[in-house]
Amino acid sequence: MVVALLSFSLAADCIHADKPHYTISTDATYPPFDFQDKNNDYIGIDQDILKEIAKRENFTYTLKPMSFTSAAQLVANGQADGIIAGMAITDERKEVYDNSTPYYKTGVAWIVKKGSEIKSLKDLKGKTVALKTGTAASEYGKSLQKKYGFNIKYFNDTDTMYNDVVVGNSAATFEDMPVIQYAIKNGVKLKVMNANNPGNAGSYGFFVKKGANKELLASFNRGFASIKKDGTYDKIIKKYLGATQSTFTGSKKNNNSVLGILKANDGAFLKGLWLTIELTVLAIILASIWGVILGVMG
């Protein structure tokens, strides 16, 4: 009996030991990707994706929520195995990390307070812009600093950064389009200035330290392909956004009226109009010359 029990518990141990266990860091507050529910459990698009992939790929993990820079640092210096944190795939990051298949489209928004007098980036001259340390959106914001002459104030989390703009301490901020659109939908009093034209368009990925944790990365990619294929991924997106990816920048509804179509295609329309005018003038000149020649000959 004892022997039987012993061998059973040994077998159970073996099964458990077979399951890889990872440490995965995340951004503590980054809705709709990573945030806490009423019971302080971590939820969000990232968290649901990760949970589902772990189940299918048969691994377990300990989640480490913290500020985004610390979370990214933890993976870069090998203290965590992977990071999922609404983290954009960028060329600079490819130097430090290996990334998964892209799992969500993103791009950078520039944002002001509702009713703000700031109408263009030029109006930011001498003003303060709030950025979140270590993010792709902050790199983008920083790249515009010289040109537009604003000052930068750094924050460690998105909520405090938003708040600085809402109360009027900072004149603007830069954050990822899906993240700010979700916040606005949920009542944050901010306005996106480039809804149809996000900066540095790209995608989110899951990251491991470059050259390390190949097995975890492969598991993520395999698991992701599987949840994409059977519709689980779409269900997760719908759960948080009520829509699928294709409409995520759709703050503006499609306007199919004549005016709406003209507005949406104003660039092409003006170009076409200009070409028509040029051709008409040229035709009139050529016709006149031809007319004079014919007249003289007559």
What is the nearest approach in angstroms of ligand ASN to the Cβ of residue 15? 35
What is the C-alpha separation between 279 and 273, in angstroms, rounded?
Answer: 10
For residue 27, state whether it binds ligand ASN (rule: CB under 6 A). yes
Tokens (6 digits) for 125: 């001259």
Considering the complex, state which of residue 57 and residue 183 has its C-beta at the smaller distance from ligand ASN.
183
One residue of 66, 109, 132, 233 binding ligand ASN per CB under 6 A: 132
- C-beta separation of 87 from 67 below 8 A: no
What is the nearest approach in angstroms of ligand ASN to the Cβ of residue 132? 6
What is the C-alpha separation between 261 and 274, in angstroms, rounded?
Answer: 18
Count Cβ atoms within 10 A of the Cβ of residue 62 and give its class: 0-12 exposed, 13-18 middle, 19 or more buried: exposed
**CB under 8 Å to 154, separation ≥6 — which residues?**
130, 131, 132, 133, 138
What is the nearest approach in angstroms of ligand ASN to the Cβ of residue 176? 5
For residue 70, state whether it binds ligand ASN (rule: CB under 6 A). no
- C-beta separation of 108 from 176 below 8 A: yes
Total number of residues that touch ligand ASN (CB under 6 A): 11
Considering the complex, state which of residue 88 and residue 192 has its C-beta at the smaller distance from ligand ASN.
88
What is the nearest approach in angstroms of ligand ASN to the Cβ of residue 67? 9
Select from 21, 124, 32 the least CA-distant residue to 63: 21
One residue of 45, 83, 85, 165 binding ligand ASN per CB under 6 A: 85
Q: What sign does the CA torsion over 60, 66, 68, 71 have?
A: negative
Q: Near ligand ASN by CB under 6 A, which window of 7-15, 17-25, 58-66, 130-138?
A: 130-138
Considering the complex, state which of residue 113 and residue 132 has its C-beta at the smaller distance from ligand ASN.
132
Binding site for ligand ASN (CB under 6 A): 27, 30, 68, 85-88, 132, 135-136, 176
